């Protein structure tokens, strides 16, 4: 039986240590921003190579708080037209105008040539999204905005452990945001998130923003903030799971290579991924998507669609983008299909899935 996600299989050897860790939190009555949160912030700091890490409640808040940390009243924020809804919602909820840019042809990543044309004197931030675990060349975005007062906020929610050259994502942009939603490459057992930065001023502000504007003194509030603290029990889980991340990412890369080699069906197009991708999703494109899903269902092979609509096509926000077209994003959302790539899978299972796809 092939599952799309099998968190238990990946984590089962850690359950004993998790139980001990949670018992310790209960014993020490150390629930809110407890020791495990500090430990996780330190561990994630070492993992990403960044100076500062602020744990928070989820990846959506991470983007919202990162934007709020810029301390701007208004402005435009550039982001790709193909991403998870949270990226754009956080821009809108933080009070800024979202400006969408199309992705490249046959790639999940923002088109840097098109991005260049959207930069104005109102732009306050750019949010590249490392979609599916493929990495945007954020260094090239830095070149585009050299000398301008624009910050880059990397949305790394699908790219834990991915690299650009030698650097880990999380340590490239001005601020980087992560989700630890359970199905992510590094996932908690509930909602959790984090923000990384090398900027002390931003770090200090983020610590206040995630904790109702308060630092050490519990009932003294310096600025308006949110309750977006990283849960201590989730931090305990993440501390243990972080140790597995590099190994599980390597496994994803191996499985992706097998798919690339084995899937030969001419109806299917392989999507271009960057070097050092961590394959949060393995996405192919096919115009007969619904038919292929049904066909795979017959063999009990689960699939996913990430995502069925481009950002400007969502009912909730289409009023912001009337008359705008982002053809590569629309095409990807119409034709994308995510195949199982959970690291618990074996190479021969990927070969089996590929063989069935070839027979379609
Ligand atoms: C690209 C991207 N951004 C933001 C988020 C939001 O994270 P969360 O679900 O933890 O709020 C996700 C998670 O699903 C994501 O994939």
Choose which CATH entry (3.40.50.720, 3.10.20.30, 3.40.640.10, 3.40.190.10) describes domain 7-242: 3.40.640.10
Q: Give 87-116 pLDDT, tens digit per residue.
A: 999 999 999 999 999 999 999 999 999 999
Q: Give 20-31 pLDDT, tens digit per residue.
A: 999 999 999 989
Q: In whole angstroms, what is the distance from residue 204 CA to residue 209 CA?
A: 9
Our measurement of the distance from residue 77's CA atom to the centroid of its chain's CA atoms, rounded to an integer in Å, reads 18
Which residue's entry shows tokens 């984590």? 11
pLDDT score of 217: 74
pLDDT score of 351: 98
- pLDDT at residue 216 tops 80: no
Residue from 81, 132, 133, 181 whose mutation best tests the ligand 1 pocket (most atoms within 8 A of CB): 181
Mean pLDDT of 194-222: 95
Atom of ligand 1 nearest to the CA of 90: 4
Q: According to DSSP H, which parts of 134-190 are helical? A: 138-144
245-358 CATH: 3.90.1150.10
* Binding-site residues, ligand 1, Cβ < 6 A: 58-60, 83-84, 86-87, 129, 155, 157-158, 179, 181, 191, 193
Taking the centre of ligand 1 as the mean of its atom positions, its distance from the CA of residue 158, in whole angstroms, is 8
**Sign of dihedral through CA atoms 18, 65, 306, 276?**
negative
Q: 201 is written with which tokens? A: 């001023």
Q: In whole angstroms, what is the distance from residue 312 CA to residue 246 CA?
A: 35
pLDDT score of 130: 98
Protein residue with its CA nearest to atom 8 in ligand 1: 59
52-56 and 193-197 strand pairing: antiparallel
Taking the centre of ligand 1 as the mean of its atom positions, its distance from the CA of residue 179, in whole angstroms, is 5
Taking the centre of ligand 1 as the mean of its atom positions, its distance from the CA of residue 177, in whole angstroms, is 9
Mean pLDDT taken over the chain: 97
- From the DSSP assignment, how many helices (H) and strands (E) are in the chain? 13, 12
Taking the centre of ligand 1 as the mean of its atom positions, its distance from the CA of residue 359, in whole angstroms, is 34
* Phi, then psi, of 206 in degrees rounded to 5: -65, -40
Total count of residues recorded for the chain = 360
**Where does the chain show beta strands of DSSP type E?**
52-56, 76-80, 97-101, 123-126, 151-155, 163-164, 167-168, 175-179, 193-197, 269-270, 282-285, 336-339
Atom of ligand 1 nearest to the CA of 179: 10
Domain boundaries along the sequence of the chain: 7-242, 245-358
Predicted model pTM? 0.98
pLDDT score of 218: 82
The answer to whether 177 and 153 have CB atoms below 8 angstroms apart is yes
The confidence band for 341, taking pLDDT boundaries of 50, 70 and 90, is very high
């Amino acid at each position: 039986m092939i599952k799309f996600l099998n968190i238990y299989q990946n984590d089962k050897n850690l359950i004993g240590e998790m139980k001990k860790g949670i018992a310790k939190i209960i014993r020490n009555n150390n629930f809110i921003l407890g020791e495990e949160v500090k430990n996780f912030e330190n561990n994630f700091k070492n993992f990403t190579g960044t100076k500062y890490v602020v744990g928070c409640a989820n990846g959506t808040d991470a983007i919202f708080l990162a934007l709020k940390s810029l301390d701007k009243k208004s402005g435009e924020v550039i982001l790709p037209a193909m991403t998870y809804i949270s990226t754009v919602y956080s821009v809108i909820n933080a009070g800024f105008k979202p400006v969408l840019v199309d992705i490249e042809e046959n790639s999940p990543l923002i088109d840097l040539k098109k991005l260049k044309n959207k930069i104005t004197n109102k732009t306050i931030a750019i949010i590249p999204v490392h979609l599916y675990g493929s990495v945007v060349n954020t260094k090239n975005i830095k070149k585009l905005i050299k000398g301008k007062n624009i910050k880059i906020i990397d949305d790394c929610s699908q790219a834990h452990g991915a690299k650009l050259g030698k650097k880990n994502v999380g340590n490239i942009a001005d601020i980087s945001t992560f989700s630890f939603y359970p199905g992510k490459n590094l996932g908690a057992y509930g909602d959790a998130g984090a923000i990384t930065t090398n900027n002390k001023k931003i770090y200090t502000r983020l610590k206040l923003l995630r904790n109702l504007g308060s630092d050490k003194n519990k009932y003294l509030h310096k600025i308006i903030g949110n309750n977006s603290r990283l849960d201590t029990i989730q931090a305990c889980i993440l501390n243990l799971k972080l140790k597995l991340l590099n190994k599980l990412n390597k496994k994803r890369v191996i499985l992706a290579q097998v798919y690339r080699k084995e899937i030969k069906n001419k109806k299917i197009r392989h999507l271009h991924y960057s070097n050092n991708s961590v394959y949060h999703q393995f996405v192919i494109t096919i115009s007969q998507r619904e038919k292929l899903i049904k066909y795979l269902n017959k063999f009990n092979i689960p699939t996913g669609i990430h995502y069925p609509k481009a950002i400007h096509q969502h009912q909730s926000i289409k009023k912001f983008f009337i008359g705008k077209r982002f053809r590569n994003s629309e095409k990807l959302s119409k034709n994308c299909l995510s195949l199982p790539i959970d690291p618990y899978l074996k190479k021969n299972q990927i070969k089996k899935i590929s063989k069935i796809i070839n027979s379609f």
